[in-house]
Structure 1
C-alpha cells in the first residue's frame, strides 16, 4: 500500500465522497451523549443516533446515509495500550435504511479499500455468519466474497451483531487486513495479525426479551470502521497511537513525562478521551457519565504518578488540548477543559492523602474483607479500586 502520505483528513474525505457518489447523504455526527431515552451513557457506535430510522421512521435525508461519529467505549478500557484500542475514537459509517442489501454494501466496501485506499486485495480476508439453530448461513455475502476472490471464514457468534440483549440485530460480514511481515496465512479467528477494519451488519431482526427474533419493519445495512485504526494501517504504522492524529502527543508528552510505551499510550488515550468528554459538556461526578470521566482521569493519574508523583496536569501543553478540541469539532474554551482536569487532579490528590491516613490505622493493617471495603467507601468515600491500589502501593 502506497498510502503513507494519506492523512486522516484525506481518509475521511475519500470515504465520504465515495459514498456520496453512490447516492448517500452525509449527516452530521452527534456528540458523545446519546439521544434521550437511550439506556447507554455514551454513544458507542454510529448507529445509536439512527435507531429510530433503523426501526422504520423516515429519515429527512433519505435512505442512504454516510457520516463520521465520535464514540466512547468503556468495555475496552482494559485493552487500551495495545495496538488497536482507544477509549474515544471516530467511526466512519454508512447506512441503507430499507434500500440496498448486503452484497452491494460489501462490494462497495471492497471497491473503496482496493481502489480508493490502494489496499492489495491479496491482503484481505472476510468472515461471514455460518448459521445456527435460528437462521441459516449468510450465503449471499459468502458468494460475493467468493466472486471477488477474497478468502472467507464462516463463524457463528463472531458474525452476529446486536446492540444489547434486546433490540435490532442481524448477521454481519467483517473485513480484515493482514498486518504480518509474511504473506497472509491462517484465518482471522486463528491469527491476530488479521486486523478487523470494517463491519457490515445486515440489520434485519429484533431480539425480544425471550430471545426470539422478529423481522424489523425494513431490512437495513449498518456499516462501521474505526478511523484511527484504518489510518494507522493505511499509513503503515504498527499501532493506532502512531497514526498522524497522535503526532502532537508523541512529540510533546515523552519530553514532559518519562514513561514506558504502554503507560504512554494509556496516559495519552485517557487524557485525550477526558478532553473530548469534557468538551461535550460532562463534568466529574460520582455517578453516571461524570463517574466515567472521573474514572478515566484517575486511572490516567495513577499511571502517570507510578514512577514520579510530582507529575502534574498543569504542565500539559495547551497545544494538545487545542488540537483535540479542533479535531473533534468542539467549540469549547481550551482553558475550561484544562481547569476541569487540574481541579479533578487536586481532588484526587486530596483523596489519596486521606486514604493513606485512614489505611494507616491499626484496624486496616491486616487483610481487608468486604465489610472493611464497604466501610471505607461509605464512611470515607474511598472506592474499592483506590483502596486496593493504595494497599498494593
Structure 2
C-alpha cells in the first residue's frame, strides 16, 4: 500500500464506525501552549479529553504531523524519525478499551492483511496506585494475541502532570523466520500502535484523580505501518523518506546510520522551516538549529568541504505541505545556507577555545558552562570538537 492508501484504509475503517474527521493542527502549537511542537495527535485534543464537548462529536479520527525532540538521540536506527505522521482515533467518553482493541485488531488483520501470528501486545501490569489492566489483558487473550504485562512502559502521560492512564501497545514481528520472545526480550518486535485509556489526572504531588470521563486515544505511526506492509527493514525505505535518502546518498558518500541521520534531520529541518520557525538559540528555533547542525556535523566529519548548496528542495514539495509555489522554496534554501555559514563561523572560533581548555585536562561541568555561557558553544558542539581532535 502507498501512504495515501494506508491513510484512506485507516480513516474509512473508523468512518464506518461513526467517527468524524478532526482537523489536522499545525506542527507549531498556538501561543500560550507550553509544548514546543505538536508531539502527538492527542495534544491538540487535550481540552476535549478533559471533558469539553468537541464540535465533531465523541468519535474522531485524523492524521497529524508530529515532531518529538525526545527521539532525537534515537534517530539513526531503523524505526525512529524526528518528524512523522500519526494516524489517530478517539473515543471522548464513548466506547471502552475492549472495543478499541477489537477494532484495532480487525483493522490490522483484515483491513491491512497482517498475519495475526505476527502480533504481540503489552498491557499495564499495575503499580502502587493503579491495578493491572485486566480488561485489555482479557481482550487480547480472547483474540488469541500473546500478551506481556509491564509497568511504567505501559503508562502514558502527556508530561509530569495532566491527563494520563494505562495503555496497550501493539507490536508486529519484523524479523526473519517465526516470531520468538516478546517485545521486552526481542527488539525485532516493533511497536506500531498505542491504545491509551485517559482515565486519570496526575497532580504536581503525584496524586491521581479520576478525569470527568474516561476516553480512548490511539496513535499509530504511518511510516512504521508502511514499513510493515512493505515487508521492509527500515522506515527510511518508505515513500516519504526515499527521496531524501536518495538525494543525500547521491550527493555525499554516506551509508548506514550517518545516511539516516542526515536524511532525517534535513527533511525535518525543512518541515519546521515550512511551518514558519527560524533558527535561534532558544525554544523551537534551537531545535531547528540543532537539527541542521547535527546533520552538518555528520557531513563534515569526513569532509569539511561538504555543504548544503544545491540541495534540491523543490523536488520534495510534498514534505512541505504548506508550500506550493516555486518562488517559496528559494527563501528556505537561503535560510539553510545562512545557518551553515553561521555554524562554520562558530566552529572556526570554537576550535582554539576548546583546544585551550582541553590542554588542561578532561573538561569539567564548569568548563562546559563557561564555553556555553561566555562563548555560545553548546555541549553537543563542544563534544563534537573534542571528538574531532581525538
TM-score (norm 2): 0.94
Query: What 5-or-longer segments of structure 2 have no aligned partner?
Result: none
* Other structure's SS at 1:203 match: strand
- The answer to whether the 8 A contact 1:34-1:48 is kept is no
Alignment counterpart, residue 82 of structure 1, candidates 60, 73, 77: 77
1:370-389 pair list within 5 angstroms:
370-389=365-384
1:1-393 aligned at under 5 Å gives the runs 6-326=1-321, 329-330=322-323, 333-359=328-354, 365-367=359-361, 368-393=363-388
Does the 8 Å CA contact 1:249/1:320 hold for their aligned counterparts? no
Q: Matched residues in 1 for 2:170 and 2:107: separation?
A: 12
| Cα contact 2:317–2:324 (8 A) shared by 1 | no
Contact 2:65 / 2:86 at 8 angstroms: preserved in 1?
A: yes
Please list the CA deviations of residues 2-45 of structure 1 after superposition, one character each: whole Å capped at 9, or x if unmatched: xxxx1111101111111111111111211111234332211111
Q: Give the whole-Å Cα distance in 2 for the aligned partners of 1:24 and 1:330.
A: 30
Measured against aligned partners, the alpha-carbon deviations of 1:65-112 in whole angstroms (never above 9, x if no partner) come to 001111111111111011110011111100000011111111110011
Contact 1:376 1:382 in 2 (8 A): yes
Residue pair 1:95, 1:223 contacting (<8 A) in 2 also: yes
Worse-matched range after superposition: 44-53 or 184-193: 184-193
- The offset of 1:134, in angstroms, is 1.8
Give me the TM-score of the superposition, normalised by structure 1: 0.94
- Residue correspondences, number: 385
Q: Separation in 2 of the partners of 1:359 and 1:170? A: 46
Query: Residues 257-305 of structure 1: CA distance to partner in whole angstroms, max 9, x if unpaired?
Result: 1112110100000001101111111000011110111111111100011
Q: Structure 1 residues 302 and 320, CA, compared in 2 at 3 Å: closer, same or farther?
A: farther
**Alpha-carbon distance in structure 2 between the residues aligned to 1:173 and 1:330:** 37
- C-alpha contact (below 8 Å) 1:35/1:49 kept by paired residues: no
Decide whether the 8 Å contact of 1:321 with 1:334 is kept in 2.
no
Distance in 2 between the 1:257 and 1:212 partners? Answer: 52
1:311 deviates by 1.2
Structure 1, unmatched stretches of 5+, are 1-5
**By how many angstroms is 1:331 displaced?**
5.2
Measured on the aligned residues, the alpha-carbon RMSD in Å equals: 1.6
Alpha-carbon shift at residue 321 of structure 1 (Å): 4.0
